[in-house]
């Protein structure tokens, strides 16, 4: 009698999940993997860091909140969720509007790569560390990210493409970040990920006629995982008050500006995707920025002034410079490329120079999903 076939949504160990996905990679496409392999300012990256420094973290200052979060993650509320069921409607990929199909596949590949990059980083921390608190956390987060990446890849295979995740692990370029930069960047990635997914999910709850693919039905549970991961990084930063004081406040502002700006530019590269969702990219960006700003008040002492008169203009200048840069690169126009890069840098500096809003960080950083 044949043993039941395992699915990534049921696996609780990231290593086992990756082994299963590698076994499936024989049918994955080179084109999707090439897209995931690309390294630009707008594509998800793979990170490495000083694992010894992270292993030395002492969570004693946040022990009560830490234990509550870990208990919640150990309970594994989303086990078995990330797989197709009767709610997975048929998708007519062959008759999907070509530009929408292209942009949606790009969205899925980018999302898969981002989820998998988190899995790789978290899995490596778990492998290298000896600190039980830290290794347990990263094992749990790697489990979640592996499930997400596997689920997206399942959706991609219906379109005849998928990312070879095992190949990515071995061949994609890794970027070194100091631990504090990992905290800022990954915390923001998880929280803005929550804001993005829940905004789309709620919009499609109200307007289901725009739900052109069934994967959006899974966004609520998905974004709750992102939320929990963000909570973990908030607690990690809370263990060392220096991370959110002094010169580090400027680093926080830099990462906020970079993450918001990157999201705005990347989303405006997918007009057909957002039109199919019934979402205006400018409205969507502002909604996500508002939600993310409220969430990050739990640990960051500043938020960006997204209502400042220069904010929207700066984003639009950054976006146009990126469009011109892409055209210059495609045409091999060196001088035009340099001019576009200069304009993009100037737009970013203008955004960064907008005075931030200060506030007092609450004594307790733990939050629950509220949107």
Q: Report which of residues 248 and 221 the model is more confident about.
A: 248
CA end-to-end span of the chain, whole Å?
47
**What's the whole-number average pLDDT of the chain?**
88
Q: What is the Cα–Cα distance from 217 to 198, expressed in whole angstroms?
A: 11
44-53, 101-110, 310-319: which has the minimum mean pLDDT? 44-53
CATH of the domain at 289: 1.10.620.20
On the CB side of 353, CA atoms within 13 Å amount to 9
Q: Does the pLDDT of residue 1 top 60, yes or no?
A: no
Q: Report which of residues 296 and 26 the model is more confident about.
A: 296
Residue 352 lies in a domain: no
Q: What is the Cα–Cα distance from 112 to 369, expressed in whole angstroms?
A: 23
Residue 236 lies in a domain: yes
Residue 260 lies in a domain: yes
Residue 143 lies in a domain: yes
Residue 282 lies in a domain: yes
Q: Does the pLDDT of residue 30 top 80, yes or no?
A: no
Q: What is the Cα–Cα distance from 270 to 285, expressed in whole angstroms?
A: 13
Q: What is the Cα–Cα distance from 55 to 57, expressed in whole angstroms?
A: 6
Q: What is the Cα–Cα distance from 88 to 298, expressed in whole angstroms?
A: 36
Residue 261 lies in a domain: yes
Find the radius of gyration of the CA atoms of the chain. Answer: 20
69-83, 289-303, 304-318, 333-347: which has the minimum mean pLDDT? 69-83
On the CB side of 101, CA atoms within 13 Å amount to 12
Task: Give residue 151's domain range.
Answer: 15-304
Quote the percentage of the chain above a pLDDT of 90.
67
Question: Which of 88, 85, 55, 73 has its CA nearest to residue 12?
Answer: 73
Q: How confident is the model at residue 13 (pLDDT cuts 50, 70, 90)?
A: low
Q: What is the Cα–Cα distance from 102 to 60, expressed in whole angstroms?
A: 48
Buried b (16+ CB within 10 A) or exposed e, 329-354: eeeeeeeebeebbebbeebbebbbeb
Residue 310 lies in a domain: no
The neighbour count for residue 123, using CB atoms within 10 Å, is: 23
Check: CB of residue 284 under 8 Å from CB of residue 267: yes
Q: Report which of residues 345 and 77 the model is more confident about.
A: 345
Q: What is the Cα–Cα distance from 248 to 135, expressed in whole angstroms?
A: 26
Mean pLDDT of the 72-99 span: 91
The pTM of the full predicted model, rounded to 2 decimals, is 0.87
Residue 339 lies in a domain: no
Quote the percentage of the chain above a pLDDT of 70.
86
Q: Does the pLDDT of residue 169 top 90, yes or no?
A: no
Question: Which of 148, 189, 170, 213 has its CA nearest to residue 33?
Answer: 170
Number of domains in the chain: 1
The neighbour count for residue 193, using CB atoms within 10 Å, is: 25
Check: CB of residue 162 under 8 Å from CB of residue 153: yes
Q: What is the Cα–Cα distance from 239 to 59, expressed in whole angstroms?
A: 6
Structure confidence by residue, pLDDT tens digits, 121-153: 898 888 889 999 999 999 999 999 999 988 998
At a CB cut-off of 8 Å and minimum separation 6, what does 117 contact?
44, 45, 46, 47
Q: Does the pLDDT of residue 214 top 60, yes or no?
A: yes
Q: Report which of residues 173 and 351 the model is more confident about.
A: 351
Q: Does the pLDDT of residue 18 top 60, yes or no?
A: no
């Amino acid at each position: 009698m044949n043993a039941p076939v395992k699915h990534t949504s049921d696996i609780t160990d990231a290593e086992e999940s990756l082994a299963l996905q590698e076994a499936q990679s024989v049918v994955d496409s080179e084109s999707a993997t090439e897209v995931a392999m690309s390294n630009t300012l707008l594509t998800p990256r793979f990170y490495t860091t000083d694992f010894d420094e992270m292993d030395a973290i002492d969570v004693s200052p946040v022990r009560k909140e830490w234990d509550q979060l870990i208990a919640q993650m150990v309970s594994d509320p989303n086990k078995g969720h990330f797989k197709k069921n009767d709610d997975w409607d048929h998708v007519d990929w062959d008759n999907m509007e070509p530009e929408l199909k292209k942009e949606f596949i790009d969205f899925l590949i980018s999302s898969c790569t981002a989820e998998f990059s988190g899995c790789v980083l978290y899995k490596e921390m778990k492998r290298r560390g000896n600190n039980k608190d830290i290794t347990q956390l990263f094992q749990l987060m790697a489990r979640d990210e592996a499930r997400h990446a596997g689920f997206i890849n399942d959706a991609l295979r219906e379109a005849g493409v998928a990312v070879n995740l095992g190949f990515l692990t071995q061949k994609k370029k890794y970027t070194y970040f100091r631990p504090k930069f990992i905290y800022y960047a990954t915390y923001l990635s998880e929280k803005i990920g929550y804001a993005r997914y829940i905004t789309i999910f709620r919009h499609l709850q109200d307007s289901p006629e725009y739900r052109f693919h069934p994967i959006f039905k899974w966004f609520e549970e998905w974004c709750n995982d992102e939320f929990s991961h963000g909570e973990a990084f908030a607690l990690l930063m809370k263990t060392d008050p220096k991370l959110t004081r002094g010169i580090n406040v400027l680093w926080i502002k830099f990462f906020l500006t970079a993450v918001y700006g990157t999201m705005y530019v990347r989303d405006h590269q997918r007009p057909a995707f957002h039109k199919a969702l019934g979402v205006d990219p400018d409205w969507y960006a502002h909604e996500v920025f508002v939600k993310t700003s409220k969430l990050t008040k739990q640990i960051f002492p500043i938020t960006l002034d997204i209502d400042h008169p220069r904010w929207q203009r700066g984003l639009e200048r950054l976006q146009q410079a990126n469009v011109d840069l892409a055209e210059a690169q495609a045409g091999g126009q060196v001088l035009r490329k340099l001019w576009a890069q200069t304009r993009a840098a100037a737009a970013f500096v203008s955004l960064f120079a907008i005075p931030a809003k200060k506030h007092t960080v609450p004594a307790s950083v733990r939050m629950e999903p509220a949107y």
